[in-house]
Amino acid sequence: MEFKLAIQTGRSLHGSLFVTPLSMLRIEKLPGKTSAVLRLSGRIQEEHLSQLQAEIDECAEAPKLDLKDVNLLDQPSVRFLLRCASQGIQLVNCPLYIQEWISRERHRAAPQADND
């Protein structure tokens, strides 16, 4: 039995799946009435952010990120979501713990911006 440590990626008509030995992020692109919805499930980690950004960039208009099925994320991912929200990307079905973490990061970043 062979176990590969490299990131494995796969694409289908409905989205992308990014797998590493300890994490998985599924991105499903769903058509919306006004903009696409990217439904995320699993773990969002820093190693997934470049692919998530690429999926966002492929959308004609700012997509909505559906976070209902996200069960774990790291600090760089929270900061990424904060930047997305500040760029007009809607975060929908966002779990309370993620909302609170984003809020803390926003407040943490605000004093630094005031010092510039």
Beta bridge partner(s), residue 43: 72
Rounded Cα distance between 42 and 112, Å, is: 31
Q: Which two tokens stand for residue 58?
A: 């492929």
Note the pLDDT of residue 32.
77
Confidence of residue 6 (pLDDT cuts 50, 70, 90): very low
How many angstroms separate the CA atoms of 111 and 90, rounded? 24
Residue 10: closest CA among 22, 1, 21, 24:
24
- The per-residue pLDDT for range 11-62, each reduced to its tens digit, is 444 455 555 555 689 999 998 788 899 999 999 999 999 999 999 999 989 9
Residue 99 CA to residue 105 CA, distance in Å, equals: 10
**Mind listing the domains of the chain with CATH numbers?**
9-115 (3.30.750.24)
Q: Note the pLDDT of residue 26.
A: 93
